[in-house]
Amino acid sequence: MLNGKSNKPVAVVTGANRGLGLETVRQLARRDIRVIVTCRNPSRGEAAFEKLVAEGLDVVFHALDVTSESSVAELGAFIHSRCGRVDMLVNNAGVYLDSHGTEDGGSASVFNASLETLSATLKTNLYGPLLLAQELVPLMKQQHYGRIVNVSSGMGQLSEMEGKSPAYRISKTALNALTRILAAETRGFNILVNSVCPGWVRTDMGGPNAEKTVEQGASGIVWAATLPDDGPSGGFFRDGQPISW
Ligand X SMILES: NC(=O)c1ccc[n+]([C@@H]2O[C@H](COP(=O)([O-])OP(=O)(O)OC[C@H]3O[C@@H](n4cnc5c(N)ncnc54)[C@H](OP(=O)(O)O)[C@@H]3O)[C@@H](O)[C@H]2O)c1
Q: Which residues are catalytic?
A: 168
Which phi-psi region, left, alpha or beta, contains residue 236 (left: φ > 0; alpha: ψ -120 to 50)?
A: beta
Side-chain half-sphere CA neighbours of 201 within 13 A? 27
Nearest residue (CB) to ligand X, 166 versus 206: 206
Q: Mask: binding to ligand X, 203-242, rule CB under 6 A, as x and -?
A: xxxx---x--------------------------------
Q: Which 166-185 positions form the footprint of ligand X (CB under 6 A)?
A: none
List all residues 6 or more positions away from 95 whose beta carbon is below 8 Å from its beta carbon.
120, 121, 124, 125
Nearest residue (CB) to ligand X, 2 versus 47: 47
Which phi-psi region, left, alpha or beta, contains residue 63 (left: φ > 0; alpha: ψ -120 to 50)?
A: beta
List 36, 66, 132, 136, residue binding ligand X (CB under 6 A):
66
Using an 8 Å Cβ cutoff, are 186 and 193 in contact? yes
Q: Which 182-201 positions form the footprint of ligand X (CB under 6 A)?
A: 197-198, 200-201
φ/ψ of residue 191, rounded to 5: -115, 120
Is residue 86 a contact residue for ligand X (CB under 6 A)? no
* Closest approach of ligand X to the CB of residue 187, in Å: 25
List 35, 36, 52, 65, residue binding ligand X (CB under 6 A):
65
List 29, 60, 90, 95, residue binding ligand X (CB under 6 A):
95
Q: Which 5-64 positions form the footprint of ligand X (CB under 6 A)?
A: 14-15, 17-21, 39-41, 44, 64
Nearest to 15 by CA among 211, 157, 203: 203
Identify the bridge partners of residue 37 per DSSP, sorted by sequence position: 13, 61
Is residue 117 a contact residue for ligand X (CB under 6 A)? no
Q: Is the dihedral of CA 204, 34, 144, 140 positive or negative?
A: positive
Is residue 153 a contact residue for ligand X (CB under 6 A)? yes
Rounded to whole angstroms, the Cα distance separating 111 from 45 reads 37
Nearest to 15 by CA among 78, 73, 89, 81: 89
List 26, 59, 83, 92, residue binding ligand X (CB under 6 A):
92
List 28, 90, 132, 151, residue binding ligand X (CB under 6 A):
151
Is residue 146 a contact residue for ligand X (CB under 6 A)? no
* Closest approach of ligand X to the CB of residue 212, in Å: 7
Nearest to 190 by CA among 235, 228, 240, 150: 228
Nearest to 190 by CA among 145, 228, 141, 133: 145
* Closest approach of ligand X to the CB of residue 240, in Å: 16
- Chain residues binding ligand X by CB under 6 A are 14-15, 17-21, 39-41, 44, 64-67, 92-95, 124, 151, 153, 197-198, 200-201, 203-206, 210
